[in-house]
Structure 1
Amino acid sequence: MVDDLSFSIAPGECLGVIGPNGAGKTTTIRICLGLTAPDGGSIEAMGGLSMPRDARAIKAQLGVVSQFDTLDPDFSCAENLMVYARYFGMSRRQIAPRIPQLLEFAALSHKADAKPGELSGGMRRRLSLARSLVNDPKLLMLDEPTTGLDPQARHLMWERLQLLLQQGKSILLTTHFMDEAERLCSRLIVIDHGRKIAEGRPRDLIAEHLEPDVVEVYGNGALGLAQSPLKDFAARVEVSGETVFFYTQDARGLLNALDSHKGLRTFHRPANLEDLFLKLTGRQIREDG
Protein backbone atom coordinates (compact mmCIF):
# COMPACT_ATOMS: atom_id res chain seq x y z
CA MET A 1 0.00 0.00 0.00
CA VAL A 2 1.16 3.53 -0.81
CA ASP A 3 -0.48 6.48 0.94
CA ASP A 4 -0.13 10.11 -0.20
CA LEU A 5 3.36 9.61 -1.64
CA SER A 6 4.73 12.29 -3.95
CA PHE A 7 8.18 12.92 -5.42
CA SER A 8 9.97 14.20 -8.51
CA ILE A 9 13.20 13.23 -10.27
CA ALA A 10 15.41 15.67 -12.16
CA PRO A 11 17.49 14.75 -15.24
CA GLY A 12 20.76 13.12 -14.20
CA GLU A 13 19.55 12.53 -10.64
CA CYS A 14 19.40 9.26 -8.72
CA LEU A 15 16.47 9.26 -6.30
CA GLY A 16 16.60 6.46 -3.76
CA VAL A 17 13.56 4.95 -2.07
CA ILE A 18 14.40 3.12 1.16
CA GLY A 19 12.16 1.51 3.73
CA PRO A 20 11.57 -1.77 5.60
CA ASN A 21 10.17 -4.89 3.98
CA GLY A 22 6.55 -4.24 3.05
CA ALA A 23 6.94 -0.45 3.22
CA GLY A 24 5.69 0.04 -0.35
CA LYS A 25 8.92 0.33 -2.37
CA THR A 26 8.02 -2.22 -5.06
CA THR A 27 4.41 -1.01 -5.12
CA THR A 28 5.71 2.49 -5.86
CA ILE A 29 7.67 1.16 -8.84
CA ARG A 30 4.66 -0.80 -10.10
CA ILE A 31 2.42 2.28 -9.93
CA CYS A 32 5.00 4.35 -11.82
CA LEU A 33 5.11 1.65 -14.50
CA GLY A 34 1.34 1.50 -14.80
CA LEU A 35 1.27 -2.11 -13.55
CA THR A 36 -0.76 -1.19 -10.46
CA ALA A 37 -3.51 1.41 -10.65
CA PRO A 38 -3.48 4.04 -7.88
CA ASP A 39 -6.72 4.92 -6.10
CA GLY A 40 -5.98 8.61 -6.63
CA GLY A 41 -3.35 11.12 -7.61
CA SER A 42 -1.43 11.47 -10.86
CA ILE A 43 1.84 10.43 -12.47
CA GLU A 44 3.49 12.89 -14.85
CA ALA A 45 6.71 12.31 -16.75
CA MET A 46 8.79 13.28 -19.77
CA GLY A 47 7.64 16.87 -20.03
CA GLY A 48 3.88 16.76 -19.55
CA LEU A 49 2.96 13.15 -20.34
CA SER A 50 0.72 11.44 -17.80
CA MET A 51 -0.04 7.88 -16.79
CA PRO A 52 -2.21 6.05 -17.82
CA ARG A 53 -3.26 8.35 -20.69
CA ASP A 54 0.20 8.42 -22.27
CA ALA A 55 1.37 5.05 -20.97
CA ARG A 56 2.82 3.88 -24.27
CA ALA A 57 4.79 7.09 -24.86
CA ILE A 58 6.12 7.08 -21.29
CA LYS A 59 7.13 3.41 -21.33
CA ALA A 60 9.01 3.98 -24.58
CA GLN A 61 11.37 6.22 -22.59
CA LEU A 62 11.71 3.97 -19.53
CA GLY A 63 14.20 1.25 -18.67
CA VAL A 64 13.37 -1.27 -15.96
CA VAL A 65 15.42 -3.73 -13.92
CA SER A 66 13.25 -5.71 -11.52
CA GLN A 67 14.49 -7.57 -8.47
CA PHE A 68 13.71 -10.85 -10.24
CA ASP A 69 15.64 -12.40 -13.13
CA THR A 70 13.44 -12.10 -16.24
CA LEU A 71 16.06 -13.00 -18.85
CA ASP A 72 15.04 -15.59 -21.42
CA PRO A 73 17.09 -18.72 -20.64
CA ASP A 74 16.78 -20.07 -24.20
CA PHE A 75 18.46 -17.08 -25.85
CA SER A 76 22.07 -15.96 -25.79
CA CYS A 77 23.06 -12.64 -24.23
CA ALA A 78 23.02 -10.92 -27.62
CA GLU A 79 19.69 -12.52 -28.52
CA ASN A 80 18.13 -11.38 -25.23
CA LEU A 81 18.97 -7.80 -26.18
CA MET A 82 17.72 -8.22 -29.74
CA VAL A 83 14.38 -9.77 -28.72
CA TYR A 84 13.75 -7.17 -26.01
CA ALA A 85 14.40 -4.35 -28.48
CA ARG A 86 11.64 -5.68 -30.72
CA TYR A 87 9.11 -4.95 -27.95
CA PHE A 88 9.91 -1.27 -28.53
CA GLY A 89 9.30 -1.60 -32.25
CA MET A 90 12.99 -1.38 -33.07
CA SER A 91 14.13 -3.13 -36.23
CA ARG A 92 17.05 -5.53 -36.37
CA ARG A 93 18.90 -2.88 -38.34
CA GLN A 94 18.39 -0.33 -35.55
CA ILE A 95 19.43 -2.53 -32.66
CA ALA A 96 22.24 -4.56 -34.26
CA PRO A 97 24.89 -1.78 -33.91
CA ARG A 98 23.89 -1.17 -30.28
CA ILE A 99 24.23 -4.75 -29.08
CA PRO A 100 28.08 -4.78 -29.05
CA GLN A 101 28.05 -1.39 -27.30
CA LEU A 102 25.62 -2.58 -24.63
CA LEU A 103 27.54 -5.81 -24.04
CA GLU A 104 30.77 -3.82 -23.72
CA PHE A 105 29.08 -1.44 -21.25
CA ALA A 106 28.03 -4.47 -19.17
CA ALA A 107 31.53 -6.00 -19.42
CA LEU A 108 30.00 -8.98 -21.24
CA SER A 109 31.50 -8.72 -24.72
CA HIS A 110 33.14 -12.11 -24.22
CA LYS A 111 29.77 -13.65 -23.30
CA ALA A 112 27.73 -12.52 -26.32
CA ASP A 113 26.91 -16.09 -27.36
CA ALA A 114 26.49 -17.49 -23.83
CA LYS A 115 23.07 -18.18 -22.38
CA PRO A 116 22.02 -16.65 -19.03
CA GLY A 117 22.35 -20.01 -17.28
CA GLU A 118 26.07 -19.95 -18.05
CA LEU A 119 26.56 -16.58 -16.33
CA SER A 120 27.26 -15.69 -12.71
CA GLY A 121 24.67 -13.76 -10.73
CA GLY A 122 26.55 -10.50 -11.22
CA MET A 123 26.80 -11.06 -14.96
CA ARG A 124 23.07 -11.74 -15.22
CA ARG A 125 22.30 -8.52 -13.35
CA ARG A 126 24.57 -6.54 -15.68
CA LEU A 127 22.90 -8.18 -18.67
CA SER A 128 19.52 -7.13 -17.25
CA LEU A 129 20.85 -3.57 -16.94
CA ALA A 130 22.13 -3.65 -20.53
CA ARG A 131 18.75 -4.94 -21.69
CA SER A 132 17.01 -2.04 -19.95
CA LEU A 133 19.09 0.35 -22.08
CA VAL A 134 18.20 -0.98 -25.54
CA ASN A 135 15.69 1.83 -26.11
CA ASP A 136 18.09 4.52 -24.79
CA PRO A 137 15.69 5.47 -21.95
CA LYS A 138 15.66 8.81 -20.15
CA LEU A 139 14.61 7.23 -16.84
CA LEU A 140 15.70 3.93 -15.30
CA MET A 141 13.64 2.23 -12.60
CA LEU A 142 15.73 -0.21 -10.60
CA ASP A 143 14.05 -2.39 -7.97
CA GLU A 144 16.67 -3.86 -5.60
CA PRO A 145 19.16 -4.25 -8.50
CA THR A 146 22.05 -5.72 -6.49
CA THR A 147 20.19 -8.12 -4.20
CA GLY A 148 22.02 -11.43 -3.95
CA LEU A 149 25.29 -10.17 -5.43
CA ASP A 150 28.69 -10.50 -3.79
CA PRO A 151 30.59 -7.29 -2.91
CA GLN A 152 32.71 -7.34 -6.07
CA ALA A 153 29.66 -7.76 -8.33
CA ARG A 154 27.83 -5.00 -6.46
CA HIS A 155 30.71 -2.56 -6.95
CA LEU A 156 30.87 -3.35 -10.67
CA MET A 157 27.13 -2.69 -10.94
CA TRP A 158 27.53 0.61 -9.07
CA GLU A 159 30.26 1.71 -11.50
CA ARG A 160 27.90 1.13 -14.43
CA LEU A 161 25.09 3.06 -12.77
CA GLN A 162 27.41 5.98 -12.02
CA LEU A 163 28.39 6.08 -15.69
CA LEU A 164 24.72 6.31 -16.65
CA LEU A 165 24.20 9.21 -14.25
CA GLN A 166 27.18 11.00 -15.80
CA GLN A 167 25.46 10.57 -19.17
CA GLY A 168 22.44 12.48 -17.83
CA LYS A 169 20.06 9.59 -17.29
CA SER A 170 17.73 9.68 -14.29
CA ILE A 171 17.42 6.73 -11.92
CA LEU A 172 14.68 5.75 -9.48
CA LEU A 173 16.30 3.20 -7.18
CA THR A 174 14.80 1.05 -4.45
CA THR A 175 17.34 -0.63 -2.21
CA HIS A 176 17.85 -2.05 1.26
CA PHE A 177 21.62 -1.55 1.09
CA MET A 178 22.39 1.71 2.87
CA ASP A 179 25.92 1.89 1.45
CA GLU A 180 24.41 1.61 -2.02
CA ALA A 181 21.97 4.43 -1.32
CA GLU A 182 24.71 6.68 0.07
CA ARG A 183 27.04 5.97 -2.86
CA LEU A 184 24.53 6.42 -5.71
CA CYS A 185 21.69 8.66 -4.56
CA SER A 186 21.80 12.43 -4.65
CA ARG A 187 18.45 12.43 -2.82
CA LEU A 188 16.50 9.93 -0.72
CA ILE A 189 12.96 9.39 0.41
CA VAL A 190 12.32 7.13 3.38
CA ILE A 191 8.93 5.41 3.38
CA ASP A 192 7.23 3.30 6.02
CA HIS A 193 3.75 1.79 5.86
CA GLY A 194 3.42 3.39 2.43
CA ARG A 195 3.96 6.96 3.64
CA LYS A 196 6.93 9.27 3.12
CA ILE A 197 8.52 10.02 6.49
CA ALA A 198 11.68 11.85 5.36
CA GLU A 199 13.22 13.30 2.20
CA GLY A 200 16.52 14.98 1.44
CA ARG A 201 20.17 14.54 0.57
CA PRO A 202 21.79 11.65 2.49
CA ARG A 203 24.22 13.81 4.47
CA ASP A 204 21.53 16.39 5.25
CA LEU A 205 19.17 13.71 6.56
CA ILE A 206 21.88 12.29 8.79
CA ALA A 207 22.70 15.74 10.18
CA GLU A 208 19.01 16.54 10.74
CA HIS A 209 18.00 13.36 12.54
CA LEU A 210 21.15 12.00 14.20
CA GLU A 211 23.99 12.90 16.51
CA PRO A 212 27.33 12.82 14.65
CA ASP A 213 29.18 10.25 16.81
CA VAL A 214 28.15 6.64 17.43
CA VAL A 215 29.79 4.25 19.88
CA GLU A 216 28.84 0.59 19.70
CA VAL A 217 29.55 -1.44 22.84
CA TYR A 218 29.39 -5.21 23.10
CA GLY A 219 30.82 -7.96 25.29
CA ASN A 220 30.22 -9.17 28.85
CA GLY A 221 28.07 -6.69 30.76
CA ALA A 222 27.43 -4.43 27.78
CA LEU A 223 23.64 -4.55 28.05
CA GLY A 224 23.74 -3.24 31.61
CA LEU A 225 25.41 -0.05 30.41
CA ALA A 226 22.22 1.10 28.69
CA GLN A 227 20.77 2.09 32.09
CA SER A 228 24.05 3.00 33.78
CA PRO A 229 25.40 6.52 34.43
CA LEU A 230 27.20 6.20 31.08
CA LYS A 231 23.92 6.99 29.37
CA ASP A 232 24.38 10.60 30.49
CA PHE A 233 27.25 10.91 27.99
CA ALA A 234 24.83 10.29 25.12
CA ALA A 235 21.82 12.06 23.67
CA ARG A 236 20.25 8.69 22.92
CA VAL A 237 20.94 5.03 23.77
CA GLU A 238 19.56 2.04 21.88
CA VAL A 239 19.93 -1.71 22.34
CA SER A 240 19.92 -4.20 19.47
CA GLY A 241 20.65 -7.83 20.28
CA GLU A 242 23.81 -7.89 22.40
CA THR A 243 25.01 -4.45 21.30
CA VAL A 244 24.40 -1.06 22.93
CA PHE A 245 24.48 2.01 20.67
CA PHE A 246 25.38 5.39 22.20
CA TYR A 247 24.56 8.40 20.00
CA THR A 248 26.44 11.51 21.10
CA GLN A 249 27.61 14.93 19.96
CA ASP A 250 31.16 14.15 21.10
CA ALA A 251 32.27 10.63 21.97
CA ARG A 252 35.51 11.50 23.77
CA GLY A 253 34.06 11.59 27.29
CA LEU A 254 32.17 8.35 26.77
CA LEU A 255 35.22 6.57 25.35
CA ASN A 256 37.35 7.70 28.30
CA ALA A 257 34.73 6.40 30.73
CA LEU A 258 34.51 3.08 28.90
CA ASP A 259 38.26 2.51 29.33
CA SER A 260 37.63 1.45 32.94
CA HIS A 261 35.15 -1.27 31.92
CA LYS A 262 37.22 -4.36 31.25
CA GLY A 263 35.95 -7.11 28.97
CA LEU A 264 34.02 -4.74 26.72
CA ARG A 265 34.69 -4.05 23.07
CA THR A 266 33.87 -0.71 21.49
CA PHE A 267 33.55 0.60 17.96
CA HIS A 268 33.55 4.36 17.42
CA ARG A 269 32.27 5.62 14.04
CA PRO A 270 30.35 8.50 12.44
CA ALA A 271 26.59 8.23 12.09
CA ASN A 272 25.48 6.75 8.78
CA LEU A 273 22.37 6.00 6.73
CA GLU A 274 21.81 2.71 8.51
CA ASP A 275 21.46 4.61 11.79
CA LEU A 276 19.01 6.98 10.11
CA PHE A 277 17.00 4.09 8.67
CA LEU A 278 16.79 2.35 12.04
CA LYS A 279 15.85 5.51 13.93
CA LEU A 280 13.05 6.41 11.52
CA THR A 281 11.63 2.93 10.93
CA GLY A 282 12.61 0.94 14.03
CA ARG A 283 14.97 -1.97 14.54
CA GLN A 284 12.38 -4.73 14.35
CA ILE A 285 12.49 -6.70 11.10
CA ARG A 286 9.09 -6.96 9.44
CA GLU A 287 7.89 -9.53 6.94
CA ASP A 288 7.20 -8.56 3.34
CA GLY A 289 3.70 -7.22 2.91
Structure 2
Amino acid sequence: MTGELDAGAVLPVDERVIDVRDLRMRYGTKDVLDGVSFTARRGEVLALLGPNGAGKTTTIEILEGFRMRSAGQVSVLGLDPASGGEGWRARLGVVLQSWRDHGKWRVRELLQHLGTYYAPYSTAEIRKPWPVDELLDVVGLTPQAGQRVMRLSGGQRRRLDVAIGIVGRPELLFLDEPTTGFDPAARREFHDLVHRLTDVDETTILLTTHDLDEAEKLADRIVILNGGRIIADGSADELSRRVTGLTEVRWTRDGRRFIHSAQDATGFVRQLFLQYGEDIDDLEVRRNSLEDTYMKLVLDAEGGAR
Protein backbone atom coordinates (compact mmCIF):
# COMPACT_ATOMS: atom_id res chain seq x y z
CA MET A 1 0.00 0.00 0.00
CA THR A 2 1.22 3.52 -0.75
CA GLY A 3 0.09 6.94 0.33
CA GLU A 4 -1.43 8.04 3.58
CA LEU A 5 -2.84 5.92 6.35
CA ASP A 6 -5.82 7.03 8.40
CA ALA A 7 -6.30 5.16 11.63
CA GLY A 8 -7.35 8.02 13.82
CA ALA A 9 -3.80 9.30 14.33
CA VAL A 10 -3.47 12.63 16.12
CA LEU A 11 -0.78 13.93 13.77
CA PRO A 12 -1.86 15.49 10.45
CA VAL A 13 -0.96 13.25 7.52
CA ASP A 14 1.67 15.64 6.15
CA GLU A 15 3.47 15.61 9.52
CA ARG A 16 3.68 11.80 9.77
CA VAL A 17 7.14 10.79 8.60
CA ILE A 18 6.53 7.28 9.99
CA ASP A 19 3.05 5.78 10.33
CA VAL A 20 2.76 2.17 11.50
CA ARG A 21 -0.60 0.44 12.02
CA ASP A 22 -1.09 -3.07 13.40
CA LEU A 23 2.32 -4.23 12.20
CA ARG A 24 2.79 -8.00 12.45
CA MET A 25 5.72 -10.26 11.72
CA ARG A 26 5.71 -14.02 12.09
CA TYR A 27 8.59 -16.47 11.70
CA GLY A 28 7.08 -19.94 11.47
CA THR A 29 4.77 -20.14 14.49
CA LYS A 30 6.47 -17.32 16.43
CA ASP A 31 4.98 -13.81 16.43
CA VAL A 32 7.95 -11.43 16.55
CA LEU A 33 5.71 -8.37 16.12
CA ASP A 34 2.13 -8.55 17.31
CA GLY A 35 0.05 -5.49 16.42
CA VAL A 36 2.62 -2.68 16.68
CA SER A 37 1.30 0.86 15.98
CA PHE A 38 3.07 4.21 16.31
CA THR A 39 3.85 7.42 14.42
CA ALA A 40 6.78 9.84 14.22
CA ARG A 41 6.48 13.46 13.19
CA ARG A 42 8.83 15.67 11.18
CA GLY A 43 11.83 16.84 13.24
CA GLU A 44 11.15 14.43 16.11
CA VAL A 45 13.69 12.19 17.85
CA LEU A 46 11.92 8.92 18.58
CA ALA A 47 13.74 6.32 20.71
CA LEU A 48 12.78 2.69 20.20
CA LEU A 49 13.71 0.77 23.35
CA GLY A 50 13.28 -2.78 24.53
CA PRO A 51 15.16 -5.84 25.77
CA ASN A 52 16.97 -8.14 23.34
CA GLY A 53 14.44 -10.07 21.26
CA ALA A 54 11.71 -7.46 21.77
CA GLY A 55 11.32 -6.85 18.01
CA LYS A 56 13.28 -3.59 17.60
CA THR A 57 15.59 -4.78 14.81
CA THR A 58 12.73 -6.40 12.88
CA THR A 59 10.68 -3.20 13.14
CA ILE A 60 13.51 -1.04 11.86
CA GLU A 61 14.36 -3.40 9.00
CA ILE A 62 10.73 -3.27 7.87
CA LEU A 63 10.74 0.55 8.04
CA GLU A 64 13.97 0.66 6.03
CA GLY A 65 12.48 -1.65 3.38
CA PHE A 66 14.96 -4.47 4.04
CA ARG A 67 12.41 -6.94 5.37
CA MET A 68 8.87 -7.82 4.29
CA ARG A 69 6.18 -7.76 6.98
CA SER A 70 3.56 -10.44 7.50
CA ALA A 71 0.66 -8.01 7.95
CA GLY A 72 -0.24 -4.44 8.84
CA GLN A 73 0.14 -1.02 7.25
CA VAL A 74 3.40 0.91 7.10
CA SER A 75 4.08 4.32 5.59
CA VAL A 76 7.54 5.91 5.63
CA LEU A 77 7.83 9.33 4.00
CA GLY A 78 4.42 8.69 2.46
CA LEU A 79 5.27 5.37 0.81
CA ASP A 80 5.17 1.71 1.70
CA PRO A 81 8.81 0.67 2.33
CA ALA A 82 8.14 -2.65 0.58
CA SER A 83 7.77 -0.79 -2.71
CA GLY A 84 10.07 2.21 -2.17
CA GLY A 85 12.44 2.83 -5.07
CA GLU A 86 15.86 4.46 -5.27
CA GLY A 87 14.44 7.97 -5.06
CA TRP A 88 12.66 7.04 -1.82
CA ARG A 89 15.81 5.45 -0.39
CA ALA A 90 17.77 8.62 -1.16
CA ARG A 91 15.57 10.37 1.41
CA LEU A 92 16.69 7.98 4.18
CA GLY A 93 19.92 7.87 6.16
CA VAL A 94 21.22 4.88 8.12
CA VAL A 95 23.98 4.85 10.74
CA LEU A 96 24.82 1.30 11.77
CA GLN A 97 26.71 0.28 14.91
CA SER A 98 29.99 -0.03 13.02
CA TRP A 99 31.59 0.12 9.57
CA ARG A 100 34.59 -1.90 8.46
CA ASP A 101 35.47 -0.46 5.07
CA HIS A 102 36.75 2.76 3.48
CA GLY A 103 39.93 2.72 5.60
CA LYS A 104 42.26 4.06 2.89
CA TRP A 105 39.95 6.85 1.75
CA ARG A 106 40.61 10.38 2.93
CA VAL A 107 37.66 11.87 4.79
CA ARG A 108 36.81 14.67 2.35
CA GLU A 109 37.25 12.46 -0.72
CA LEU A 110 35.01 9.74 0.70
CA LEU A 111 32.18 12.16 1.50
CA GLN A 112 32.49 13.87 -1.89
CA HIS A 113 32.29 10.49 -3.60
CA LEU A 114 29.27 9.31 -1.61
CA GLY A 115 27.49 12.61 -2.20
CA THR A 116 27.49 12.01 -5.94
CA TYR A 117 25.14 9.05 -5.48
CA TYR A 118 22.42 11.36 -4.14
CA ALA A 119 22.74 14.21 -6.62
CA PRO A 120 20.58 12.58 -9.36
CA TYR A 121 17.65 12.35 -6.94
CA SER A 122 17.68 16.00 -5.87
CA THR A 123 14.45 17.69 -6.90
CA ALA A 124 12.24 20.47 -5.63
CA GLU A 125 10.76 17.94 -3.19
CA ILE A 126 14.01 16.16 -2.24
CA ARG A 127 16.81 18.02 -0.52
CA LYS A 128 20.20 18.41 -2.17
CA PRO A 129 23.19 16.63 -0.58
CA TRP A 130 25.24 18.55 1.94
CA PRO A 131 28.13 20.58 0.50
CA VAL A 132 31.17 18.69 1.76
CA ASP A 133 32.78 21.57 3.65
CA GLU A 134 29.51 22.33 5.41
CA LEU A 135 29.00 18.66 6.26
CA LEU A 136 32.52 18.41 7.70
CA ASP A 137 31.76 21.41 9.89
CA VAL A 138 28.41 19.99 11.03
CA VAL A 139 30.00 16.74 12.27
CA GLY A 140 33.14 18.43 13.61
CA LEU A 141 35.62 16.82 11.21
CA THR A 142 37.02 19.86 9.39
CA PRO A 143 40.51 19.41 10.94
CA GLN A 144 40.52 15.75 9.82
CA ALA A 145 39.31 16.41 6.26
CA GLY A 146 42.61 15.30 4.69
CA GLN A 147 43.24 12.31 6.97
CA ARG A 148 42.79 8.69 5.96
CA VAL A 149 39.83 7.05 7.65
CA MET A 150 42.07 4.41 9.26
CA ARG A 151 43.90 7.20 11.14
CA LEU A 152 40.79 8.58 12.86
CA SER A 153 40.13 8.05 16.55
CA GLY A 154 37.07 6.07 17.63
CA GLY A 155 35.03 9.20 18.29
CA GLN A 156 36.12 10.78 14.99
CA ARG A 157 35.25 7.57 13.15
CA ARG A 158 31.78 7.63 14.67
CA ARG A 159 31.31 11.21 13.50
CA LEU A 160 32.29 10.04 10.03
CA ASP A 161 29.69 7.27 10.29
CA VAL A 162 27.10 9.96 10.97
CA ALA A 163 28.41 12.09 8.10
CA ILE A 164 28.03 9.09 5.77
CA GLY A 165 24.48 8.60 7.04
CA ILE A 166 23.46 12.22 6.48
CA VAL A 167 25.52 13.11 3.38
CA GLY A 168 22.32 13.04 1.30
CA ARG A 169 20.55 15.33 3.83
CA PRO A 170 17.96 12.65 4.67
CA GLU A 171 14.51 13.50 5.89
CA LEU A 172 14.61 10.41 8.11
CA LEU A 173 17.72 9.12 9.88
CA PHE A 174 18.06 5.71 11.57
CA LEU A 175 20.65 5.67 14.38
CA ASP A 176 21.58 2.27 15.80
CA GLU A 177 23.49 2.46 19.11
CA PRO A 178 25.16 5.68 17.91
CA THR A 179 27.53 6.38 20.84
CA THR A 180 28.76 2.89 21.70
CA GLY A 181 32.36 3.23 22.89
CA PHE A 182 32.24 7.04 23.18
CA ASP A 183 33.91 8.84 26.07
CA PRO A 184 31.73 11.41 27.90
CA ALA A 185 33.07 14.38 25.91
CA ALA A 186 32.49 12.70 22.55
CA ARG A 187 29.01 11.62 23.66
CA ARG A 188 28.11 15.19 24.61
CA GLU A 189 29.32 16.49 21.25
CA PHE A 190 27.30 13.83 19.45
CA HIS A 191 24.17 14.82 21.35
CA ASP A 192 24.72 18.43 20.27
CA LEU A 193 24.96 17.20 16.67
CA VAL A 194 21.65 15.33 16.95
CA HIS A 195 19.94 18.45 18.28
CA ARG A 196 21.39 20.49 15.41
CA LEU A 197 20.07 18.04 12.83
CA THR A 198 16.54 18.19 14.22
CA ASP A 199 16.49 21.91 14.99
CA VAL A 200 18.19 23.24 11.86
CA ASP A 201 17.41 20.63 9.21
CA GLU A 202 14.13 19.22 10.64
CA THR A 203 15.53 15.70 10.31
CA THR A 204 13.38 13.02 11.90
CA ILE A 205 15.51 10.54 13.86
CA LEU A 206 14.65 7.01 14.93
CA LEU A 207 17.12 6.03 17.63
CA THR A 208 17.81 2.61 19.11
CA THR A 209 20.05 2.44 22.16
CA HIS A 210 20.64 0.48 25.35
CA ASP A 211 21.88 3.68 26.99
CA LEU A 212 18.72 4.85 28.75
CA ASP A 213 20.36 8.06 29.95
CA GLU A 214 21.11 8.89 26.32
CA ALA A 215 17.53 8.16 25.29
CA GLU A 216 16.25 10.42 28.05
CA LYS A 217 18.51 13.27 26.92
CA LEU A 218 17.86 12.96 23.17
CA ALA A 219 14.36 11.63 22.62
CA ASP A 220 11.22 13.73 22.32
CA ARG A 221 9.27 10.49 22.60
CA ILE A 222 10.04 6.94 23.67
CA VAL A 223 8.41 3.74 22.42
CA ILE A 224 9.13 0.63 24.49
CA LEU A 225 8.74 -2.78 22.86
CA ASN A 226 8.53 -6.04 24.76
CA GLY A 227 7.54 -9.41 23.38
CA GLY A 228 6.63 -7.91 20.02
CA ARG A 229 4.15 -5.42 21.50
CA ILE A 230 4.34 -1.78 22.50
CA ILE A 231 4.03 -1.50 26.27
CA ALA A 232 4.62 2.26 26.52
CA ASP A 233 4.67 5.33 24.26
CA GLY A 234 5.33 8.87 25.48
CA SER A 235 7.95 11.34 26.67
CA ALA A 236 10.28 10.35 29.52
CA ASP A 237 8.23 12.50 31.93
CA GLU A 238 4.95 11.01 30.75
CA LEU A 239 6.23 7.48 31.20
CA SER A 240 7.59 8.33 34.64
CA ARG A 241 4.21 9.69 35.73
CA ARG A 242 2.56 6.55 34.38
CA VAL A 243 4.66 4.36 36.65
CA THR A 244 4.09 6.54 39.69
CA GLY A 245 2.30 9.82 40.06
CA LEU A 246 4.53 10.89 42.95
CA THR A 247 7.57 13.14 42.61
CA GLU A 248 10.14 13.54 45.37
CA VAL A 249 10.85 17.12 46.46
CA ARG A 250 13.88 17.75 48.69
CA TRP A 251 14.93 21.01 50.32
CA THR A 252 16.82 22.51 53.26
CA ARG A 253 15.40 25.08 55.70
CA ASP A 254 17.13 26.39 58.81
CA GLY A 255 19.79 23.73 58.45
CA ARG A 256 17.27 20.86 58.40
CA ARG A 257 16.74 18.55 55.43
CA PHE A 258 13.17 17.81 54.28
CA ILE A 259 11.79 15.26 51.82
CA HIS A 260 8.21 15.21 50.53
CA SER A 261 6.48 13.02 47.89
CA ALA A 262 4.05 15.15 45.88
CA GLN A 263 1.46 14.36 43.22
CA ASP A 264 1.82 17.88 41.82
CA ALA A 265 5.47 18.83 42.33
CA THR A 266 5.11 22.22 40.62
CA GLY A 267 2.19 23.23 42.83
CA PHE A 268 3.92 21.97 45.96
CA VAL A 269 7.11 23.93 45.22
CA ARG A 270 5.05 27.04 44.54
CA GLN A 271 3.34 26.72 47.92
CA LEU A 272 6.68 26.03 49.58
CA PHE A 273 8.11 29.32 48.34
CA LEU A 274 4.97 31.22 49.18
CA GLN A 275 5.21 29.96 52.75
CA TYR A 276 8.97 30.10 53.37
CA GLY A 277 10.40 32.21 50.55
CA GLU A 278 14.13 32.86 50.85
CA ASP A 279 14.48 30.39 53.73
CA ILE A 280 14.44 27.53 51.18
CA ASP A 281 17.86 26.19 50.15
CA ASP A 282 19.17 23.23 48.09
CA LEU A 283 15.84 22.56 46.38
CA GLU A 284 15.70 19.35 44.32
CA VAL A 285 12.83 17.82 42.35
CA ARG A 286 13.39 14.15 41.56
CA ARG A 287 11.23 12.06 39.27
CA ASN A 288 11.96 8.45 38.46
CA SER A 289 14.82 8.13 36.00
CA LEU A 290 14.04 6.61 32.62
CA GLU A 291 15.98 3.55 33.72
CA ASP A 292 13.71 3.14 36.77
CA THR A 293 10.63 3.62 34.61
CA TYR A 294 11.84 1.28 31.87
CA MET A 295 12.65 -1.54 34.28
CA LYS A 296 9.28 -1.24 36.01
CA LEU A 297 7.34 -1.26 32.72
CA VAL A 298 9.27 -4.22 31.28
CA LEU A 299 9.04 -6.26 34.48
CA ASP A 300 5.31 -5.56 34.78
CA ALA A 301 4.78 -6.58 31.14
CA GLU A 302 6.76 -9.78 31.54
CA GLY A 303 4.90 -10.60 34.75
CA GLY A 304 1.56 -10.11 33.03
CA ALA A 305 2.61 -12.34 30.13
CA ARG A 306 3.27 -15.33 32.40
The verdict on a shared fold, with TM-score over 0.5 as the criterion, is: yes
Residues in 1 aligned to 2:158 and 2:133: alpha-carbon distance in whole angstroms: 17
Does 2:292 align with 1:275? yes
Give the deviation of 1:203 after TM superposition: 0.3
The change in CA–CA distance for 1:271 and 1:73 in structure 2 (over 3 A counts) is: same
2:233 paired residue number? 199
2:187 paired residue number? 154
Give the deviation of 1:49 after TM superposition: 1.9
SS of 1:173 mapped into structure 2: strand
The normalised TM-score by structure 2 is 0.69
1:136 paired residue number? 169
Does 2:62 align with 1:31? yes
The normalised TM-score by structure 1 is 0.73
SS of 1:103 mapped into structure 2: helix
**RCO (CA 8 Å, sep 6+): is it higher in 1 or 2?**
1
* Partner amino acid, structure 2, of 1:271: N
Residues in 2 aligned to 1:97 and 1:41: alpha-carbon distance in whole angstroms: 35
The change in CA–CA distance for 1:95 and 1:124 in structure 2 (over 3 A counts) is: farther
Residues in 1 aligned to 2:96 and 2:115: alpha-carbon distance in whole angstroms: 17
**Kept after mapping to 2: 8 A contact 1:82/1:95:** no
Q: 1:118 aligns with which of 138, 144, 151?
A: 151
How many residue pairs match? The answer is: 230
1:180 paired residue number? 214
The change in CA–CA distance for 1:204 and 1:96 in structure 2 (over 3 A counts) is: closer
SS of 1:6 mapped into structure 2: strand
SS of 2:41 mapped into structure 1: coil
Instruction: Please state which structure has a larger fraction of its residues in strand.
Output: 2
Does 2:196 align with 1:145? no
Give the deviation of 1:89 after TM superposition: 4.8
Give the deviation of 1:116 after TM superposition: 2.1
Q: 2:82 aligns with which of 21, 28, 52?
A: 52
Structure 2 residues not aligned, in runs of 5+: 1-31, 122-126, 249-259, 263-284, 301-306
Detail structure 1 runs of 4+ shifted over 3 Å in the superposition: 94-97, 211-214
Give the deviation of 1:117 after TM superposition: 1.8
SS of 2:88 mapped into structure 1: helix
| Cα-Cα RMSD | 2.5
Structure 1 residues not aligned, in runs of 5+: 215-247, 251-267, 284-289
SS of 1:281 mapped into structure 2: helix
Q: 1:102 aligns with which of 115, 130, 135?
A: 135
Q: 2:45 aligns with which of 6, 14, 22?
A: 14
Residues in 2 aligned to 1:116 and 1:161: alpha-carbon distance in whole angstroms: 22
The change in CA–CA distance for 1:133 and 1:64 in structure 2 (over 3 A counts) is: same
The change in CA–CA distance for 1:137 and 1:205 in structure 2 (over 3 A counts) is: same
